[in-house]
Every structure is written in C-alpha cells, then in structure tokens.
Amino acid sequence: MNNKIIRTKLKVVNNEQINSSHFRLYLTMPDDCPPITPGQFAEIYVPPTLNSFLRIPLSIHFISDKKNEIQFLIQLKGEGTKYLKTLKKNDFVDIIMPLGKGFSIPRQRKLALIAGGCGVAPLLFLSDKLYEHGNELEIYLGFRNHNQVMLINEFKKYGKLVIATDDGSMGEKGVITQVFERHLDDFDFIYACGPTSMLQSLMYLSEKYNIKCEISLETLMACGLGACLCCAVPTKKGNMRACVDGPVFDTKDLIELNE
C-alpha cells in the first residue's frame, strides 16, 4: 500500500447538532496521523446491532491543525449513525484512516465546488486546502429547503457562495446543477459531492463545457481497504474500487453512475 493507514482510538471533543438530520462529531487528531488529503475517508466502528454490522465509512469533513481536531459531518441514517449521535465529550471512537484517494489540489486556478445535501461534508476541508493554495473558489450548495441549509458561515470565507433550494425557500430556486450552469464561468476545475443524479448531471456539464471534474462517490462498502471488492465503480478501465481507487474519481474515467 502506498498510503499509510492507522487504526486508533480517538477522543470525542464535541458532538454538535447542525439541523434535524445532521450533526458534527469533533475528535482529537492522533499524534501519529499520516498526511490527509481532502476527499479521503475514515471507517468508524459502531457496536453491532440487529440491523447494523459493519464499520461506517465517513468522509473527512474538516481538519483544524490549530485545535488539533478532526471533524465528521454525519447524516442520521441508520442505527450506526444514531449511535454516533449519542457520543459525548471524552468518549472514544475506534477509527481507521486515512483511506482512499482524495481530490487533486492545484495552485492559483479558478475552481467551482458543488455539493448537494450531505455532500457538503468533504468540501469544507477541500475548500480550506484549495484556498490555502491560492485558488479562487466559487461554492455552490444545494439543499431541499431552508431547514436543511447548513454551514453557510463556514463556506463563505473561502470565496463566492451560492445557495440554492429545491423549493426556493432560501437562495436561488432550483436544483444546484441548473443554478450552477446559469453562473457557469471559465472554471479550470469542478469538484463535487452529492446525490447520484446531481453527479450524473455534472458529468454531462463537465463534458459539454470541457471542464475537468472530480467527484466523490458514495458507495456501499464492507472492508474499506481494497480487499473485498464490494464497492465496485464501473470505469473505462473496468471496475474500480471506491475505497482505494476512489472515492474521488475524474469524471472522464467514469461510465455511468449507479443509482
């Protein structure tokens, strides 16, 4: 393996409710943590229940070097995430990280970042790193309605921020890919994470306007280490593993996304 991976127990610093279906888990960074690229993920252990059995793969949401913290933005989905929601300060989490291949980080380019719903998770850390490398960012975040809108203050310090909601209750009305196309400019790169339909539309847009596009895919995973081949992603080079060949892929390598 090229990347160093660690398994460790991290202490919970804070567990913050964001809205009705999302929360943010803050953990202390391990001392021996290998370098982490935005887009990489972690596998977090949750005690097995009648319906959940495997670790939960979660993209790394943010790293604060100053506070020595690593953050995860988590959507309440099943019993595993429900358990994570109950964690309190000073609890410990069994974690394996960093896993997978992240986004590329250019210098001094004009970039668009697009997320739908919980797809904002990896883009905060990405925005931070891209900004640090002197890039000009435009950030497009789409949500179902104003109740679901989150992290505006966090994102707006990195560049121009455009919010869209499906029902128009906040920001521009419409799906984020349509809103993005209206604003489309001479971007060098598009980065995205979100629902499959959104990513599929972006694949078409990136091809139509000939803009390089990297997307982070969410797939069902078992091992997260490249061993079980459960997280297959069909690509022009055959089936690849989301867990080690991704989760970030260049859209020009992909065929059609699995719903």
Partner 1 sequence: MSTKIDIGKLTLKNPVLTASGTFGYGQEFESFIDPSLLGGIIMKGTTWEPREGNPAPRMAETSAGMLNAVGLQNKGVHHFIDKILPAITKYDTKIIVNVAGNDVADYVKTASLLNDIERVDAIELNVSCPNVKKGGIQFGTNENLLKELLSAVRHVYYKTLIVKLSPNVTKIEDFAKISESEGADAITVANTFLGMAIDINTYKPKLSNITGGLSGPAIKPIIMRMVYQCYQVVKIPIIASGGIMHWQDAIEYFLAGATAIQVGTANFINPSASIEILQGINDYLDNNNIESIKNIIGKVKI
Taking CB under 8 A as the rule, which mask of x and - marks residues 200-229 in contact with partner 1? Answer: -------------------xxxxxxxxxxx
Within 10 A of 246 (CB to CB), how many other CB atoms are there?
A: 25
Closest to partner 1 by CB, 55 vs 129, is: 55
Q: Is 152 in the site for partner 1 (CB under 8 A)?
A: no
> Half-sphere exposure of 28 toward its Cβ, with a 13 Å CA cutoff?
13
Q: Which of 91, 90, 149, 87 is nearest to 118 (CA)?
A: 149
The span from the first CA to the last CA of the chain, in angstroms, equals 30
Q: Is 5 in the site for partner 1 (CB under 8 A)?
A: yes
- Stretch of 2-10, 119-127, 134-142, 204-212 lying at the interface with partner 1 (CB under 8 A): 2-10
Report residue 8 as tokens.
């460790």
Q: Is 124 in the site for partner 1 (CB under 8 A)?
A: no
Residue with tokens 């990297």: 214
Q: Is 105 in the site for partner 1 (CB under 8 A)?
A: no
Total residues contacting partner 1 by CB under 8 A comes to: 33
- Minimum CB separation of residue 51 from partner 1 in Å reads 6
Q: What CA–CA distance (Å, rounded) separates 84 from 22?
A: 11
- Minimum CB separation of residue 232 from partner 1 in Å reads 5
Q: Is 45 in the site for partner 1 (CB under 8 A)?
A: yes
Length of the chain as a residue count: 259
Report residue 186 as tokens.
């001479």
- Which residues make up the interface to partner 1 (CB under 8 A)? 1, 4-7, 45, 48, 50-55, 96, 219-234, 238-239, 258
